[in-house]
């Protein structure tokens, strides 16, 4: 069965975004060690899952970097563009983006079906609402949380209730970001 990995940036106090979706608190000066780590995390991935809100910024941003990678690792830019993407939406019916389909079905049913299909790992990037819904449905097999060295005091949190997790590994990067990898205990 395929594994669903969540990759998400969080503030030290557990927020994925400010109260109005602000991301200005994130550390974007990823060092070479962190970039290498992200490549290793995405190597076995052949499908990216996104919510509509994040997809509308994520996909065009990576498409633009294809022609001008602006310091990005070319292989990683290609991976983000060439990997099959599935956008979960209640409103969007189809996508004009390359390698992308839209699904409007039941979130749990769709992801469980994807897990049963043959293929490599799947990775999902939150958008807070999308991530919170997937977390609440207990669909995440591996949590890859990147804790930024900043507390924002208020915002959008992907965890809305108690979730028992088991620490698999962690690492501190020179840029100050701490990666923690967990799996659900249940």
- Which domains can be identified in the chain, with CATH numbers? 4-184 (3.40.430.10)
108-135: average pLDDT: 94
Say if pTM beats, i.e. exceeds, 0.75.
yes
> Residue 147 above 80 pLDDT?
yes
78: helix, strand or coil? helix
Choose among 158, 104, 124: nearest CA to 49.
Answer: 124
Q: What is the pLDDT of residues 64-101, one digit of tens each?
A: 887 765 666 778 888 888 999 999 999 988 888 888 99
Give me the pLDDT at residue 70, please: 63
7-34: average pLDDT: 90
7-20: average pLDDT: 95
pLDDT level of residue 58 (50, 70, 90 thresholds): confident
Give me the pLDDT at residue 6, please: 97
> Residue 135 above 90 pLDDT?
yes
The answer to whether the Cα torsion of 159, 54, 156, 145 is positive or negative is positive
pLDDT level of residue 126 (50, 70, 90 thresholds): confident
CB-neighbour burial class of residue 48 (10 A; exposed 0-12, middle 13-18, buried 19+):
buried
Give me the pLDDT at residue 49, please: 96
């Amino acid at each position: 069965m395929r594994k669903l990995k969540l990759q998400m940036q969080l503030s030290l106090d557990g927020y994925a975004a400010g109260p109005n979706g602000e991301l200005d608190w994130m550390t974007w000066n990823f060092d070479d060690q962190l970039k290498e780590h992200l490549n290793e995390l995405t190597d076995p991935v052949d499908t990216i899952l996104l919510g509509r809100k994040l997809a509308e910024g994520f996909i065009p941003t990576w498409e633009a970097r294809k022609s001008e990678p602006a310091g990005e690792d070319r292989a990683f830019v290609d991976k983000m563009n060439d990997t099959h993407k599935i956008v979960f939406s209640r409103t969007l019916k189809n996508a004009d983006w390359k390698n992308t389909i839209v699904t409007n079905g039941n979130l749990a049913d769709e992801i469980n079906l994807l897990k049963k299909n043959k293929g490599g790992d799947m990775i999902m990037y939150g958008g807070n609402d999308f991530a919170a819904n997937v977390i609440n449905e207990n669909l995440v097999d591996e949590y890859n949380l990147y804790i930024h060295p900043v507390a924002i005091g208020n915002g959008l949190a992907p965890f809305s209730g108690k979730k028992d997790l088991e620490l698999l590994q962690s690492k501190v990067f020179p840029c100050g970001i701490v990666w923690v990898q967990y799996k659900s205990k249940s």
